[in-house]
Amino acid sequence: MGSATACFLAALAGPQRRITVVERDPTYAQASSSLSASSIRQQFSTPLSIQLSQFGHAFMASCAEGGRPGAAVGLHARGYLFLGRGEQAAALQRRTRLARSLGAEIEEFDVQALARRYPWMNLGDIHYACQGLRGEGWFDGYLLQQLYRSRARAAGVAYRQGEVVDVLTTGNRCTAVELADGTRLAADEVVNAAGPWSATVAERVGVWLPVRPRRRTMFVVSCPNAPAAAEAFPVLIEPNGVFVRPEQQHHLCTVSPRADNDPDGLPLDPDFSLFEDVIWPTLAARIPAFEALRVERAWAGYYEYNTVDHNGLVGQIGPENFFVATGFSGHGLMHSAGVGRGVAEWLVHGAYRTLDLSPLSPGRLLAGQPIVEEAVY
């Protein structure tokens, strides 16, 4: 979010605007952006999430290499297939209608059509399914992050290693950020894009943000009798939220822990019990070939989880020149281009021009008007 904002801001504002990105760890070892599943979908429950995905996909597609759209960020086209049981069918149908009304192409399946399309899946428990036909898939999150960073640097943005420990204010304005080594960087505007740690930075100006670091574990698995040619395997979302998609010759899978067992700030050690207790049984029941799975690699990262409505928080809050771009709860990388562009427009023009991000204003929470994004996994 920080580098995306800097990249768009530098392009929009020109060289006379001095922009500094402060980053405590230039290796990004614990950054969510390095540890993500780096996938993109248009199937969400709120309009702006869909529009941000469409913007993000178009941006990534524009990052061509050797004449191939999206190749510079490893963009692969593949639809998300959502499987619904019982009451989930109605919610998925609502989402499909919403996404279509905004131009997304989504295919709906009845049970027979689904079984014809995916004969290698057990589908007896499924009542409804839908799959994106365009604008969905996955990409290389690290390449995307580095692309923002290198474009920002090429446009004159300074990257400064340091940990922000305080934000200094006079009256209702921020005047500087203070780093752990005592350096003070004067600032006319401060954008808090500290991801899972953004609530700690916001506290420095007396602002409470409901954003918490919530651990999520990714598993790369191999399967000796993989069920289908990789090109036929969708990004599959099970009724219980298990996610699986191809990853080169393997598969990448994850599931969020249950809400009542999801504390803040757990150490970033993979939680193997999620694989044993939830992911493997779910996948083996759906796809018999997945009885034989081996975990090749696992890692954990933090969702910057907005505990109130699971939607991004973008805009001014607290001091009049303090802005946040955080809280995306598992979909921030796919939305980073649209958010970076929007924050840049706000800082330069005082208004959103491309996409109206005002529904994501943090003020909605103070006003008790959350906009719940249901499609969070």
Query: Which residue ranges make up the site for ligand FAD (CB under 6 A)?
Result: 1-2, 22-25, 28, 31-33, 35-39, 163-164, 193-197, 201, 216, 218, 301-304, 326, 328, 330-334
Smallest distance, Å, CB 24 to ligand FAD?
4
Half-sphere exposure for 341 (CA within 13 Å, toward CB): 17
Smallest distance, Å, CB 265 to ligand FAD?
13
Nearer to ligand FAD, 37 or 293 (CB): 37
Smallest distance, Å, CB 321 to ligand FAD?
18
Q: Are 177 and 167 contacting, i.e. CB atoms less than 8 angstroms apart?
A: yes
Smallest distance, Å, CB 306 to ligand FAD?
10
Q: Are 83 and 122 contacting, i.e. CB atoms less than 8 angstroms apart?
A: no
Half-sphere exposure for 357 (CA within 13 Å, toward CB): 33
Query: Other CB atoms closer than 10 Å to residue 206's CB: what's the count?
Result: 11
Smallest distance, Å, CB 29 to ligand FAD?
8
Nearer to ligand FAD, 89 or 268 (CB): 268
Nearer to ligand FAD, 28 or 352 (CB): 28
Smallest distance, Å, CB 205 to ligand FAD?
13
Nearer to ligand FAD, 108 or 264 (CB): 264
Smallest distance, Å, CB 271 to ligand FAD?
11
Nearer to ligand FAD, 310 or 364 (CB): 310
Smallest distance, Å, CB 157 to ligand FAD?
15
Question: β-strands 20-23, 158-161: how paired?
Answer: parallel
Smallest distance, Å, CB 163 to ligand FAD?
4
CA–CA separation, 61 and 231 (whole Å): 19
Smallest distance, Å, CB 154 to ligand FAD?
20
Nearer to ligand FAD, 226 or 333 (CB): 333
Closest CA to 326 of 148, 190, 193, 164: 193
Nearer to ligand FAD, 37 or 129 (CB): 37
**Length of the chain measured in residues:** 377
Nearer to ligand FAD, 118 or 139 (CB): 139
C-alpha angle 30/34/39, rounded to 5°?
Answer: 135
Nearer to ligand FAD, 25 or 276 (CB): 25
